[in-house]
């Protein structure tokens, strides 16, 4: 009995020390990690809408679109050259978890660029969808209906052996296009004096 | 026992993958490309050296009966600290190696070396053992991933993170995708193990067959 208590106390002490070390490390790196992630997002946004370096987060997205966003998680309004366009973050479910991606849509409704920020697809197979050879196919597309992989009757070439990952990325792009069309129907994009999204992102 | 011997032990004689058959799950998962293999190997080496060192330092204060849960806590803490430090201070490196960190937590090579070696030996010997085991693991991953990447994609040394397309060895029509899928992992691992066992089989002396 006494031995049990002694061992429990020792294990408890080791756990407490571990917890202290972990929380110390966490608070030491938290700000830096947040900064690094914000910078990564900023870079990705600038890549999918070239020539654009100021984005406004569109807040209250769920309310504006009655909650049906598909896989879209965040929308940023472009304000410079591409005023009226959007860059949006989407996270469709892939083969190994959500595929986080950003999609830029110019004001005329055509996809300008697609970048995958993070994914956990099968190395060597699903990860191929992050390559320009695959994501480049979306550039210039403007109708969500045609955005399907060839197996599903669309016109996107899926990566060999990675149909699920290819399908997920394709769905992400088509969800963003869908959100773009509904936002522009609401008149909150070009010229619309939107009251939502006050926060300056840069 | 010399440090050099402890180090060399992990390379061939007790290679963690080919000899001890430890860490099979991450081995099958990441040996799809040489780039992944090296990344996983280096990250695991770093964690092995660190966890061996810590376990060796605290070995005298940890009671025999609860040593395994203690090692688990120590290793998990160390891996998480490494993960946070990498994400905070070297984001570029974290982007490349970060995906291997969750796989290292469940890598039984780490716990096995803590239990079989570091808990009984001095600090420097434990560090040498961790280093040797890590390099041995990296070598094994490189061998397996070289075979799988070549047969599966026709290209070797592809490193998308560094925008390097790799060296093309096989024409597209000769590659077989199955080699970089899970079955290909088992096939490659099984054949390689068989070959190594056959090469290192005890040979009968002289010409007598018995």
Domain assignment of residue B53, yes or no = yes
* pLDDT at site B206: 52
Residue A80: pLDDT band (50, 70, 90) is low
Domain boundaries, chain A: 51-201
* pLDDT at site B134: 94
Looking at the structure of chain B, the number of domains it has is 1
* pLDDT at site A192: 41
B35 by Cβ neighbours in 10 Å (0-12 / 13-18 / 19+) ranks as buried
Domain assignment of residue B67, yes or no = yes
pLDDT surpasses 80 at B204: no
Poorest-pLDDT segment among A37-51, A182-196, B84-98: A182-196
pLDDT surpasses 70 at A199: no
pLDDT: is B171 or B144 the higher one? B144
Q: What is the pLDDT of residues B19-61, one digit of tens each?
A: 889 888 888 888 888 888 888 898 899 899 999 999 999 998 8
Q: What is the percentage of chain A residues whose pLDDT exceeds 90?
A: 32
CA–CA gap between residue A32 and residue A159 (Å, rounded)? 36
A contact set with B (CB within 8 A): 3, 6-7, 10-11, 14-15, 18, 21-22, 25-26, 28-30, 32-33, 36, 40, 120, 122-125, 127, 130-131, 160-161
Q: What is the pLDDT of residues A147-166, one digit of tens each?
A: 888 888 888 999 888 899 99
Residue A123: pLDDT band (50, 70, 90) is low
Pairing mode of beta strands A100-105, B167-168:
unpaired
* ipTM reported for the complex, 2 dp: 0.73
> Which segments of A110-162 does DSSP mark as H helices, in order?
132-135
Domain assignment of residue B13, yes or no = yes
* Both structure tokens of A201: 């992102």
Domain assignment of residue B205, yes or no = no
Instruction: State the nearest Cα–Cα gap between B128 and chain A, in angstroms.
Output: 25
Domain assignment of residue B65, yes or no = yes
A100: phi then psi, degrees, rounded to nearest 5: -85, 125
pLDDT surpasses 90 at A99: yes
Report, as an integer, the average pLDDT of A8-35.
93
Angle of helix B34-57 relative to helix B123-153, nearest 10 degrees, comes to 160
Domain assignment of residue B207, yes or no = no
The beta-carbon neighbor of A29 closest among B32, B76, B84 is B84
Residue B141: pLDDT band (50, 70, 90) is very high
Domain assignment of residue B210, yes or no = no
Residue B14: domain span: 2-200
């Amino acid at each position: 009995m006494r031995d049990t208590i002694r061992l429990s106390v020792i294990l408890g002490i080791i756990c407490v020390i571990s917890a202290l070390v972990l929380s110390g490390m966490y608070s030491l790196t938290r700000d830096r990690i947040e900064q690094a992630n914000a910078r990564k997002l900023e870079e990705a946004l600038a890549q999918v809408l070239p020539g654009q370096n100021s984005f406004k987060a569109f807040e209250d997205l769920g309310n504006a679109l009655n909650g049906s966003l598909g896989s879209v998680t965040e929308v940023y309004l472009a304000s410079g050259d591409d005023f009226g366009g959007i860059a949006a973050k989407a996270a469709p479910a892939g083969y190994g978890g959500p595929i986080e991606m950003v999609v830029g849509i110019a004001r005329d409704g055509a996809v300008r660029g697609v970048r995958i920020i993070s994914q956990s697809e099968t190395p060597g197979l699903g990860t191929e969808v992050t390559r320009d050879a695959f994501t480049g196919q979306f550039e210039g597309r403007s109708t969500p209906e045609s955005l399907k992989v060839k197996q599903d009757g669309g016109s996107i070439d899926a990566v060999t052996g990675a149909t699920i990952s290819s399908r997920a990325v394709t769905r992400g792009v088509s969800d963003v296009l869908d959100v773009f069309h509904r936002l522009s129907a609401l008149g909150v994009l070009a010229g619309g004096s939107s009251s939502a999204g006050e926060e300056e992102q840069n | 026992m010399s440090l050099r011997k402890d180090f060399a032990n992990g390379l061939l004689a007790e290679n963690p993958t080919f000899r001890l058959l430890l860490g099979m799950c991450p081995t099958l998962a990441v040996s799809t490309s040489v780039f992944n293999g090296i990344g996983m190997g280096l990250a695991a080496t770093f964690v092995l050296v660190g966890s061996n060192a810590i376990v060796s330092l605290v070995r005298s204060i940890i009671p025999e009966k609860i040593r395994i849960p203690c090692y688990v806590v120590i290793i998990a803490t160390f891996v998480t600290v490494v993960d946070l430090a990498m994400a905070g201070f070297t984001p570029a490196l974290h982007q490349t190696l970060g995906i291997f960190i969750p796989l290292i937590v469940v890598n039984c090579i780490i716990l096995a070396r803590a239990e079989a070696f570091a808990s009984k030996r001095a600090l420097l010997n434990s560090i040498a053992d961790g280093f040797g085991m890590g390099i041995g693991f990296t070598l094994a991953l490189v061998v397996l991933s070289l075979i799988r990447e070549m047969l599966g994609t026709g290209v070797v040394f592809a490193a998308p993170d560094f925008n390097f397309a790799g060296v093309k060895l096989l024409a597209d029509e000769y590659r077989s995708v199955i080699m970089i899928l899970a079955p290909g992992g088992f096939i490659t691992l099984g054949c390689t193990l068989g070959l190594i066992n056959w090469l290192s089989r005890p040979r009968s002396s002289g010409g007598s067959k018995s």
